[in-house]
Amino acid sequence: MRHNSDAEFLERCREVDFSAESVNYEKNLDALKAKLTTEERFAVNKIRKMPVAVAAALAVVLSLSVVALGATVWRHMDTRIIQGEEYVRHFSMQEATDGSGFTMGSLDIDPNASGPIIADVEGEKVVLWDAHEYDDLDAALARLSATLGDLKMPAYLPEGFTFEQATYHANVTALNIDYSFGGQELRVRISHYPEEWGIPQWSATFEEVEVNGWVGKTGDGSLWVQVGDISYFFDGYNSDLDYDHLIRIAKSLR
């Protein structure tokens, strides 16, 4: 059970501002994407000012990817799975020597797996995956609010969409809430994400939006809204929902 498609990972690996070296950056990105396809299709994540454990866990769950290119040199980090190895196809990790980010391999998780997947990254224990599925939305929200406190939920959903399943990721204190309608899918993700980290860049084309006075960004058919140290991410990745729908959902947060 892949958290997200590798194709989506790679398509979101485009930096927004290439500045004067944009042409070279584009060439480097194309070369990197070709390499990733042949080398276990790495997902590249640039996460600033976070410890290794937080960066690794967050990148695996959020999959919000931008790329550190140009003169960046990657240092391989000694990584091994120390728990749940039978459920992992591939995992490895590298760190940019200029401190700009991390790269890591994709994970295949057995849908029948139980318990967390834990890695040792140069002596630091990293929980890569600790997911818990809920058919009861209230129970899932209670699990998250026990850590984050009061949560907001949208009062509006597009016509026909109903709750399907929620998945709580204990390793990063995040909850994915999935809704569906006639084969279409809508995901609302609520997670702990300190404001000082800044909204991550997952798209080559961003548009900043204001939602009820909160800072937001749209890109690649999704919307991120930052409310204090809690992020709300709305993704109509397999639906006909446009940004107007997502913004309307976000504006109904109560």
Cα distance between residue 210 and residue 141, in whole Å: 25
The topology under which CATH files domain 132-251 is: Phosphorylase Kinase; domain 1 (3.30.200)
User: Which of 52-66, 130-144, 187-201: highest mean pLDDT?
Assistant: 130-144
Largest CA distance in the chain: 51
Between 30-44, 64-78, 233-247, the lowest mean confidence (pLDDT) is in: 30-44
**Neighbouring residues of 22: CB distance < 8 A, sequence distance ≥ 6:** none
Question: How confident is the model at residue 229, as a pLDDT?
Answer: 94
Contact assessment for residue 134 and residue 143, using Cβ atoms and an 8 Å cutoff: yes
Q: How far is CA 41 from the centre of its chain?
A: 16
> Which residues of the chain are in CATH 3.30.200 domains?
132-251
pLDDT tens for residues 200-245? 766 667 788 999 999 999 988 899 999 999 999 999 878 999 999 9
